[in-house]
Every structure is written in structure tokens, then in C-alpha cells.
Amino acid sequence: MERTEIVLEGRKGEIQLFSDDHKAGKMDISVIGKKLTVYHTEVNPEYEGKGFAKILLERLVSHARENDLKIVPLCPYVYAQFKRHPEEYNDVWMKEEL
């Protein structure tokens, strides 16, 4: 069974994904004010192809919505998902102005 945990120490932390009590993946994040920045998504090789990155993304987005945060997607995976499905993520996507 999969579960997620958000671990923040100060401004930096991780969203951790566990499968049967083994750490299967994580997202590196920071929260400053109302801005949640996601830097990196990683799923351990033995868990790849099982949709775990999507589970992490869903937890990231739900955390942002629950806490009225905007996401800065520096992580290539998250950015690609936001670009692919803007209607799903527009409410939490902080688009950087040029």
C-alpha cells in the first residue's frame, strides 16, 4: 500500500512516497511564503513504471491547494505535466513572468 508524507524542516523538505513501508520516491521542495517550489522528482528504479511520480504530483498539488500555495515547477517532470494539462493545474501554477 502506498502512502505519502510531507517532511519540512524550516523552508526545505520533501514529499516522500512509501510503498509497503519502503521509500519508493520523493520530491524535493521548498516553501517560502505562499510559494512552493518543486526542484526534483525521483522514483527509485525498482518502483518505476507504476505511476508513483503521478502519486507524488497529486500530493504536491493537493498540499498546495489545502494551504493556498502557488507552485513554481522547476522540476522538469512537474513542468511537463503542468504544460500538458494546464486546465488541471492553472489554479496552483505560478507562471514566471519574463
- Residue 90: CB atoms within 10 A of its CB come to 10
Q: Is residue 32 part of a domain?
A: yes
Q: Report pLDDT for 83.
A: 97
Confidence of residue 10 (pLDDT cuts 50, 70, 90): confident
Q: Cell 507552485, residue? A: 71
| CATH code of the domain in which 33 resides | 3.40.630.30
Torsion sign over Cα 28, 66, 68, 93: positive
Q: Report pLDDT for 2.
A: 86
Residue ranges making up the domain that contains 60: 2-88
- For the chain, the domain total comes to 1
Q: Is residue 14 part of a domain?
A: yes
Q: Report pLDDT for 52.
A: 96
Q: Report pLDDT for 98.
A: 41
pTM of the model: 0.92
Percent of the chain with pLDDT over 90: 85
Q: Is residue 94 part of a domain?
A: no
* CA angle (6 as vertex; 1, 60 as ends), nearest 5: 85
pLDDT at 63 over 70: yes
